[in-house]
Amino acid sequence: MALATMDEARRVLAERFGYDGFRPGQGELVEAVLAGRDVLGVMPTGAGKSLCYQVPGVAAEGLALVVSPLVSLMGDQVRALLEAGVRGAYLNSTLTPGQQSTVMRRALEGAYDLMYVAPERLADPRFVDFASRARLSIVAVDEAHCVSQWGQDFRPSYLAVGDFIASLPERPPVCALTATATGRVRDDIERLLGLRDPLVLVTGFDRPNLRFSVERLEPKRKLARIAARALRDPAESGIVYCSTRKDVEKVHEALVAAGVPATRYHAGLSKDEREANQRAFIDDDAPVMVATNAFGMGIDKSNVRYVIHHNMPGSMEAYYQEAGRAGRDGEPSECLLFWSDGDISTCRFFIEQESGNEELSPEEAEAVRATRRRMLEAMVGYCYTTDCLRSYILRYFGEEPPGACGACGNCDGGFEAVDVTAEARAVMRCVHELRGRFGKGVVADVLRGGEGGRAAELGLLSARCFGDLGPGSPEGPEPGAPRRRDAVPAARIREVVELLAAGGYLVVTEGTYPTVQLGPRFREAAEPGFSLAMKRALRKPARAERPPSRAFGASGGASFGDEGLFEHLRALRKDIATRLGKPPYVVFSDATLRDMCARRPATDEEFLEVSGVGLSKLKRYGEDFMAAIRDYEAR
């Protein structure tokens, strides 16, 4: 028998959470769970995974247990539920033993619909005893990829989840959720959590409200570009990711000096300071966060308007997860990636350095490194591609893109494609002839035909490819030029090497003796159809420095001319949140404020029509916000 009907689920969605309908994938997952079936939902960050267990948790009788890795955020998650009129609780080490007993006792009395627990808790005999006596409606496993060693955030404590579920006297349906799409991780989740014939649902990875752009910048120019974006609207929330603590400090200092209310987060700060800074970010007291990748998992702050990467991350998985923290509310948001050559060598260095997990044999460790190299090359490919960035992302995650998006940094014409096929062929011939023994610098020297450089030292003056891209060679920097006087610049040759590596035609290793070798696709580069283009910025102000545009992406109901009202309501939200000691986005999301601006509700019925407003929020805030709208219109 079903745990609850879909009609009940839809009523919960509308009355509690204030939403008209399920997003793609949500409905199917909720329906399956309510029918008693295990599910595995794979959805990108921001797609709305939480509702997939929250709605069944409320609709079904009994207690829904939610396993979540982030102890420091459970309080916020539960607060957001209480705000929506949902009976939620959490159990973790931030509570005293007395409080924990009270929560468990109340849970047994049926006081809660949902309870968040940390995975460590599942091994605690007291908790196991409690769980065997509670009437569990479902067990939800959030961030389920943490169970897999192949994922990015492996947590050994997640390995206890499967045993825990198996030990329950009556096994409820299990709802596992993750944003990690790789098959290996998915298999691990199914196996290690012991899912039974689960409905596996992978939703599209597209996030239409995100605008992607990539720019190659000298390290010293990055700061100015980041500050310019942040200053466009200093009250707007954004995240700046840096690859090292040192960079976090540098960028943070520069932003604060420029007058941006920024805070910071990295593993070198004390626990107290990390928590205080995270709080300041969530509460919009310091709307801009500068952080290493240690920050962000489980942060569900929905009004992050931009995510800037100050360095290139090591994989598309990492990039999309981090960038995807922008615009969870569906409002237009930006994902800017700034990179420089140094970022690539840094990533390569880390891959080669890493001895990895001690439990791996040398062969396994090498296999892991090989996987990581491939992942890195795909990331480098994203930096170099002249194609639509959104299409590149979708293809990477295994989806066929519908066509160029027309709205990303590559589509909107800030760049031109320069043909470098001839240079690429010369590089391939050279690497082949040098049999992969040398690095990029030597390849460039040999091709440029410099007689005084490394080529002479290494005895390569007689190489067949010597001087192929040197002065007077037919392959000029201006395509079609019959002969040219100057050699192809070494920087250009190095860039072509990177491009070829990104495409799998070459492999570049980093380490004590970095070398360039032929890659798995090297033969294709010799075929007649082969061509290669490089991206070059056109000389015009970059789009991100121009005034904001709300014209991109698919955002329902947003219209121009509401900016004043939006700011008015945003200020009211901040006041209320401060007074109540809650994060502003928990009061209302940006998307809800936008919809309010578009609808300008004047009655309770109209206020309920606003997306994200349920009965509980109408009662709490309806009057204040409708008064604010009236005031604004009377001005």
Task: Please select the residue that binds ligand ADP; options are 76, 188, 215, 329, rule is CB under 6 A.
Answer: 329
Whole-number minimum distance, CB 414 to Zn ion, in Å? 11
Strands 506-508 vs 516-518: parallel, antiparallel or unpaired: antiparallel
Q: Which does 19 bind (CB under 5 to 8 A by kind): ligand ADP, Zn ion, none?
A: ligand ADP
**Per-position x/- string for 128-147, each x denoting binding to Zn ion as judged by CB under 5 A, each - no binding:** --------------------
Closest CA to 134 of 190, 91, 97, 78: 91
| DSSP code string of 334-383 | EEEEEE-HHHHHHHHHHHHH----TTS-HHHHHHHHHHHHHHHHHHHHHH
**Is residue 337 a contact point for Zn ion (CB under 5 A)?**
no
Q: Which is nearer to ligand ADP, 410 or 589 (CB)?
A: 589
What H or E segment, with its residue span, contains residue 15? helix 6-15
Whole-number minimum distance, CB 548 to Zn ion, in Å? 19
Please name every residue paired with 33 in a beta bridge, in sequence order, or none if there are none: none
d(CA 605, CA 626): 12
Whole-number minimum distance, CB 611 to ligand ADP, in Å? 6
**Is residue 586 a contact point for ligand ADP (CB under 6 A)?**
no
d(CA 546, CA 414): 12
Task: Please select the residue that binds ligand ADP; options are 30, 38, 40, 50, rule is CB under 6 A.
Answer: 50
Query: What is the 3 state secondary structure string of 195-256?
Result: CCCCEEEECCCCCCCEEEEEEECCHHHHHHHHHHHHHCCCCCEEEEECCCHHHHHHHHHHHH
**Is residue 408 a contact point for Zn ion (CB under 5 A)?**
yes
| HSE toward the beta carbon, residue 520, CA cutoff 13 A | 7
Q: Which is nearer to ligand ADP, 203 or 385 (CB)?
A: 203
The helix-helix angle for 389-396 and 362-384 (nearest 10°) equals 160
Whole-number minimum distance, CB 126 to ligand ADP, in Å? 30
**Is residue 444 a contact point for Zn ion (CB under 5 A)?**
no
Q: Which does 245 bind (CB under 5 to 8 A by kind): Zn ion, ligand ADP, none?
A: none
Q: Are 205 and 181 in contact (CB under 8 A)?
A: yes
Q: Which does 388 bind (CB under 5 to 8 A by kind): Zn ion, ligand ADP, none?
A: Zn ion
Q: Which is nearer to ligand ADP, 309 or 325 (CB)?
A: 325
Closest CA to 150 of 375, 338, 329, 362: 375
**Is residue 588 a contact point for ligand ADP (CB under 6 A)?**
no
Q: Which does 626 bind (CB under 5 to 8 A by kind): Zn ion, ligand ADP, none?
A: none
**Is residue 466 a contact point for ligand ADP (CB under 6 A)?**
no
User: Counting runs of H as helices and runs of E as strands, what totals does the chain give?
Assistant: 24, 17
Whole-number minimum distance, CB 572 to ligand ADP, in Å? 19
Task: Please select the residue that binds ligand ADP; options are 32, 33, 45, 570, rule is CB under 6 A.
Answer: 45
Q: Which is nearer to Zn ion, 460 or 544 (CB)?
A: 544
The 3-state DSSP class for residue 89 equals strand
**Per-position x/- string for 338-377, each x denoting binding to Zn ion as judged by CB under 5 A, each - no binding:** ----------------------------------------
**Is residue 450 a contact point for ligand ADP (CB under 6 A)?**
no
Q: Which is nearer to ligand ADP, 177 or 465 (CB)?
A: 177
**Per-position x/- string for 65-84, each x denoting binding to ligand ADP as judged by CB under 6 A, each - no binding:** --------------------
Please name every residue paired with 239 in a beta bridge, in sequence order, or none if there are none: 289, 307
Q: Which is nearer to Zn ion, 252 or 390 (CB)?
A: 390
C-alpha to C-alpha distances, 489 to 44, 90, 371, 470, 616, nearest whole angstrom: 41, 61, 32, 9, 65
Task: Please select the residue that binds Zn ion; options are 388, 444, 501, 596, rule is CB under 5 A.
Answer: 388
Ramachandran area for residue 462 (φ above 0: left; ψ -120 to 50: alpha; else beta): alpha
The 3-state DSSP class for residue 185 equals helix
Task: Please select the residue that binds ligand ADP; options are 48, 151, 332, 409, rule is CB under 6 A.
Answer: 48
Closest CA to 130 of 105, 112, 152, 153: 105
The 3-state DSSP class for residue 521 equals coil
Whole-number minimum distance, CB 83 to ligand ADP, in Å? 11
96 burial type by CB count under 10 A (0-12 exposed, 13-18 middle, 19+ buried): exposed
Closest CA to 319 of 45, 629, 541, 608: 45
Task: Please select the residue that binds ligand ADP; options are 8, 14, 15, 23, rule is CB under 6 A.
Answer: 23
Residue ranges in 205-264 that form contacts with ligand ADP under rule CB under 6 A: none
Interface region with Zn ion, contact rule CB under 5 A, candidates 245-253, 320-328, 389-397, 429-437: 389-397
C-alpha to C-alpha distances, 461 to 153, 414, 492, nearest whole angstrom: 49, 41, 21
Task: Please select the residue that binds ligand ADP; options are 31, 283, 300, 498, rule is CB under 6 A.
Answer: 300
**Is residue 519 a contact point for ligand ADP (CB under 6 A)?**
no
**Is residue 500 a contact point for ligand ADP (CB under 6 A)?**
no
**Is residue 31 a contact point for ligand ADP (CB under 6 A)?**
no
Task: Please select the residue that binds ligand ADP; options are 186, 328, 348, 582, rule is CB under 6 A.
Answer: 328
**Longest pairwise C-alpha distance within the chain:** 86
Q: Which does 321 bind (CB under 5 to 8 A by kind): Zn ion, ligand ADP, none?
A: none
Residue ranges in 589-628 that form contacts with ligand ADP under rule CB under 6 A: 589
**Is residue 19 a contact point for ligand ADP (CB under 6 A)?**
yes
Residue 504: alpha-carbon gap to chain centroid = 25
**Is residue 411 a contact point for Zn ion (CB under 5 A)?**
yes
d(CA 435, CA 535): 28
Closest CA to 587 of 599, 595, 575: 575
Whole-number minimum distance, CB 528 to ligand ADP, in Å? 46
42 burial type by CB count under 10 A (0-12 exposed, 13-18 middle, 19+ buried): buried
**Is residue 502 a contact point for Zn ion (CB under 5 A)?**
no
Q: Which does 411 bind (CB under 5 to 8 A by kind): ligand ADP, Zn ion, none?
A: Zn ion
Whole-number minimum distance, CB 159 to ligand ADP, in Å? 23
Closest CA to 611 of 48, 18, 80, 26: 18
Q: Which does 53 bind (CB under 5 to 8 A by kind): ligand ADP, Zn ion, none?
A: none
Whole-number minimum distance, CB 27 to ligand ADP, in Å? 9
| Residues at the interface with Zn ion (CB under 5 A) | 388, 390, 405, 408, 411
| Residues at the interface with ligand ADP (CB under 6 A) | 19, 22-23, 26, 43, 45-51, 300, 302, 328-329, 589
